Structure 1
Amino acid sequence: MTKALTDTDLIIAGGGLAGATLALALARVVPELRVTVVESFPLSPEALPEDYQPSYDARSTALAWGSRLIFEELGLWSALSEHATPIHHIHVSDRGRFGATRLNAQDHGQSALGYVADNRWMGLCLMRALLATEVSWQAPAEVVGMTNTPSGVSVRIRKDGEEHSLTGQCLVVADGGRSSLREQLGFVTRSEDYGQHALIANVSTAEPHRFTAFERFTEAGPMALLPHGSPARAENQSALVWTLTDSALEQVLALSDEDKCRKLQERFGWRLGRFTRIGECHHYPLKLITVDEAVRPGVALVGNAAHALHPVAGQGFNLALRGLITLVEQFRRAVTEGIALGDLAILGEYQRLHRQDWQQTVQFSDSLIRIFGQSLPPLALARDTGLVGLDLVPGAKRWFARKAMGTGGRKPVIASVDAVKEPARHDH
């Protein structure tokens, strides 16, 4: 027997970084909306410790400068910045060739080009902020189905071994790139397999990173080292994203930690001295996943459920965040104009506004893979000339910097959160 839960206005399937950020933004911008988050993992006091102790093996996310501005608007940046390592410099190079380009934050009048933050710390900051809002949670629980109704949607939720129903105006699917709910609702995805895996780990080097992010293109695939650890001191820890073919991944995983460091040294070089430690390794297949139509009456896809990118340019979460704020703007418009949240006039406009951003970001990330994946001498020469050109031509360099900083597209405006907007800060 299906049991009815208290109805709501908006149901968010998934309480990870995307779902929790959307819930917080709605609480800040459209506080009159009743928002319910359905999350498969249990919430408990143990999940919100008083003191956060960063782990060496913590997974992390690259945050563009534009994402910092959004989190400032939401009143969350002062907390996030406690454990967010700034990126002052970006160095892009082509292994074994002369092409290289460099970006420096001070050249663009910013205190940082971006940041690197532990996923667990970001989740903890979001949960602490959400506890002070009226957002309600169903956890552990999962959305298992949805049907449209004259007034919106009726969502089926499985909780404690029983099925419940929850009615609202709209369902937002935010349960990640492997969303089973997306498939069940009949959304058609386009998937392009790069034939590669991303190996993720934290590494230590003999030389400090000096708050520099390295993007290194090699004949075996791109790799990135992002500054990690203290937000104030340039330490010796970096977050590694290492692109490997399927066969190369198996070989690397079979190596000892010492031999992994030696292999990494061969691919990356000596810009940070000797690799002295590599932590727990995670890996996942690399695919470009897009959805032609990310909205339908009463339902919208966001985050990785709507698009998953190659991590080469660190744009995935930043693109998702901009999309979330675009959706919040449309929900605010719906409330102001008295339109149902799930109306296609609202969701279709969200898709239209966000589409240009994700198309440009996908093109930017995908083109880097294709351009730097070519080893033919004429193409390699043209590629190196292009990198040198980026380094020498101010206009081209500004364009590249805007892409890297997440400020090159449409900038969403959250005008109604002045009460929680943080004062401008200058990091040191």
Structure 2
Amino acid sequence: MSKQTTSSREEKSTQAPAERSCDVVISGGGLVGLTLAAALSGAGLSVEVVDAQEPRKVLSAPFDGRASAIAAGSRHILEGIGLWSLVADKAEAIEEIRVSDGRIERRASPFFLHYDSEELGLGPLGHIVENRDLRRGLHQLLSSRKTFRLHAPDLVVDSQRDANGARVILDSGVEIRAALVVAAEGRNSPLRRAAGIPVRTWQYRQHGLVCTLEHERPHHGVAHEHFLPSGPFAVLPLRDDDAGRHRSSLVWTERPELAERMMALAPKDFAWEVQRRFGDTLGQFSVEGPRWSYPLSLLHAQRYHDTRLALLGDAAHVIHPIAGQGFNLGLRDVAALAECIVDTRRLGLDIGADAVLERYERWRRFDNMMLAGITDGLNRLFSNDIPPVRLARDLGFAAVERTPGLKRFFMRHAMGLVGDLPRLTRGEPL
């Protein structure tokens, strides 16, 4: 039995609450939570999502500068749930990735890695899509699903879960009975805390700076990642805007004290600092829309489930953004959990049973822990300017670049096409 309460519940009316029932309740209506809702409702399960944000406000919000990297395997997932056709014309393909060991205002290392999609012949390495387009596409997709319901703005204020089922009470007074509750509330998940699931966490001495850049020259679908002493500095291709202006998404890792100073700069001066670090490949930069800064951390839940509760996405794991894999890990969680649930339902069994959730955890734990370890190790390896370490990593770049088989493996891994993949990730129907 697990409970989660807040004082706001005590302030509600004493009227009898409305009662509802469904197969799955998802707490959190972000990109990962709504993607799971789309996968399950498309397979015929009834799903209710609870989210704190007002939908009309979220969907009408101006461009906020944030975008997500969608690996090839993740694109298969979005295709399988019917979302990709709604966002494809807004997605920019990543045809090449150029990785280099950079220096600020000094000659860059001659060693680098160059990934070219033509070497594999599997299509683009991935895509970059603005988060607002993903949100709008998910809401459009789910609006026509009769087995889907959104409670927003609202909150889960109490949950009771046992062998017989789950019951959640919302701040609005609505009560929902379900076979399974999914926590997709992000790194500070209240349901995870209420269930007493411990987490291992590490705070990096780094902040992530995110915004959209306009630039004079076209990017030709090339993603750039420079490793600077403060951390990775990535410029990722976005679709040109309606006026034909060339754009890219910036993900800049910086020390906290310097990140604060960068955020305080006027947009023109901020763009100049970007130019210092990136160079003139794309011509002159300017900043489009707002800038975001957030502390970077690593988090991993010691388990991904409790009685009739599954953790999804950032509620289960948070990794360094060095390889742009955080959202892709969340989408692979979606594909795995959806497959476990749907297969169990087709057998006529209990979708919230411990055996189902244990299968989900076994499936996803290794992949998530491996990526957390890899991104943490890469960040530590590259976020310094120690000459012997710099030489070793540059020689490593050169070795991979000159070993075609190894490079193709790394490319397939970055595309999310390696490992024990769920059906959706393989491009097969759920």
TM-score, normalized by length of structure 1? 0.90
Query: What is the alpha-carbon distance in structure 2 between the residues aligned to residue 248 and residue 224 of structure 1?
Result: 17
Query: What is the alpha-carbon distance in structure 2 between the residues aligned to residue 347 and residue 82 of structure 1?
Result: 36
Deviation of 1:125 (Å) = 0.8
Deviation of 1:269 (Å) = 2.3
Rate the CA distance shift 1:66–1:79 in 2: closer, same or farther, 3 A.
same
Residue 86 (structure 1) aligned to one of 76, 93, 102: 93
Query: What is the alpha-carbon distance in structure 2 between the residues aligned to residue 150 and residue 363 of structure 1?
Result: 35
C-alpha distance after superposition, 1:324-344 (max 9, x if no partner): 110011111221233322211
Residue 123 (structure 1) aligned to one of 114, 125, 135: 135
Deviation of 1:55 (Å) = 6.2
Deviation of 1:244 (Å) = 1.0
Note if contact 2:162-2:308 (Cα within 8 Å) is conserved in structure 1: no
Deviation of 1:241 (Å) = 0.5
Partner of 2:30: 16
Deviation of 1:207 (Å) = 2.2
Output aligned runs, 1:19-418, within 5 Å: 19-29=33-43, 31=44, 33-44=45-56, 57-95=64-102, 96-133=108-145, 134-159=147-172, 163-230=173-240, 236-277=246-287, 279-414=289-424
Number of residue-to-residue matches in the alignment: 409
User: Please, which moves more after superposition, 100-109 or 35-44?
Assistant: 35-44
Query: What is the alpha-carbon distance in structure 2 between the residues aligned to residue 234 and residue 99 of structure 1?
Result: 34
Query: What is the alpha-carbon distance in structure 2 between the residues aligned to residue 90 and residue 234 of structure 1?
Result: 23
Query: What is the alpha-carbon distance in structure 1 between the residues aligned to residue 342 and residue 260 of structure 2?
Result: 49
> What SS does the corresponding residue of 2:265 show, helix, strand or coil?
coil
Note if contact 1:157-1:164 (Cα within 8 Å) is conserved in structure 2: yes
C-alpha distance after superposition, 1:360-386 (max 9, x if no partner): 222222221021123222211110011
Note if contact 1:357-1:410 (Cα within 8 Å) is conserved in structure 2: no
Q: Which amino acid aligns with 1:124?
A: R
Note if contact 1:13-1:175 (Cα within 8 Å) is conserved in structure 2: yes
> What SS does the corresponding residue of 1:285 show, helix, strand or coil?
strand
Deviation of 1:48 (Å) = 6.1
Partner of 1:426: none
> What SS does the corresponding residue of 2:197 show, helix, strand or coil?
coil
C-alpha distance after superposition, 1:32-86 (max 9, x if no partner): x221111112334x8668xxxx966431111001111111122221211010011
Rate the CA distance shift 1:230–1:369 in 2: closer, same or farther, 3 A.
same
Note if contact 1:99-1:383 (Cα within 8 Å) is conserved in structure 2: no
Gaps of 5+ in 1: 422-428
Query: What is the alpha-carbon distance in structure 1 between the residues aligned to residue 240 and residue 350 of structure 2?
Result: 46
Rate the CA distance shift 1:363–1:233 in 2: closer, same or farther, 3 A.
farther
Query: What is the alpha-carbon distance in structure 2 between the residues aligned to residue 137 and residue 56 of structure 1?
Result: 23
Q: Which amino acid aligns with 2:318?
A: A
> What SS does the corresponding residue of 1:112 show, helix, strand or coil?
coil
Rate the CA distance shift 1:392–1:181 in 2: closer, same or farther, 3 A.
same
Note if contact 1:86-1:114 (Cα within 8 Å) is conserved in structure 2: yes
Deviation of 1:94 (Å) = 0.3
Partner of 1:425: none
C-alpha distance after superposition, 1:106-141 (max 9, x if no partner): 111033111111111111111111112121122221
RMSD: 2.3
> What SS does the corresponding residue of 1:390 show, helix, strand or coil?
helix
Q: Which amino acid aligns with 1:63?
A: I
C-alpha distance after superposition, 1:293-321 (max 9, x if no partner): 01012101001111111111010111110
Note if contact 1:206-1:276 (Cα within 8 Å) is conserved in structure 2: no
> What SS does the corresponding residue of 2:21 show, helix, strand or coil?
coil
TM-score, normalized by length of structure 2? 0.89
Query: What is the alpha-carbon distance in structure 2 between the residues aligned to residue 41 and residue 220 of structure 1?
Result: 34
Q: Percent identity?
A: 35
Partner of 2:6: none
Q: Which amino acid aligns with 1:336?
A: R
Query: What is the alpha-carbon distance in structure 1 between the residues aligned to residue 289 and residue 404 of structure 2?
Result: 39
Gaps of 5+ in 2: 1-13, 103-107
Rate the CA distance shift 1:342–1:289 in 2: closer, same or farther, 3 A.
same
Q: Which amino acid aligns with 1:130?
A: L
Query: What is the alpha-carbon distance in structure 1 between the residues aligned to residue 26 and residue 64 of structure 2?
Result: 29
Note if contact 1:294-1:301 (Cα within 8 Å) is conserved in structure 2: yes
Query: What is the alpha-carbon distance in structure 2 between the residues aligned to residue 138 and residue 12 of structure 1?
Result: 10
Note if contact 1:56-1:202 (Cα within 8 Å) is conserved in structure 2: no
Q: Which amino acid aligns with 2:39?
A: A
Deviation of 1:15 (Å) = 1.2
Note if contact 1:145-1:185 (Cα within 8 Å) is conserved in structure 2: no
Note if contact 2:63-2:132 (Cα within 8 Å) is conserved in structure 1: no
Residue 21 (structure 2) aligned to one of 7, 21, 46: 7
Q: Which amino acid aligns with 1:39?
A: D
> What SS does the corresponding residue of 2:55 show, helix, strand or coil?
coil
Q: Which amino acid aligns with 2:149?
A: S
Q: Which amino acid aligns with 1:397?
A: K
Note if contact 1:209-1:235 (Cα within 8 Å) is conserved in structure 2: no
> What SS does the corresponding residue of 1:319 show, helix, strand or coil?
helix
Deviation of 1:235 (Å) = 5.5
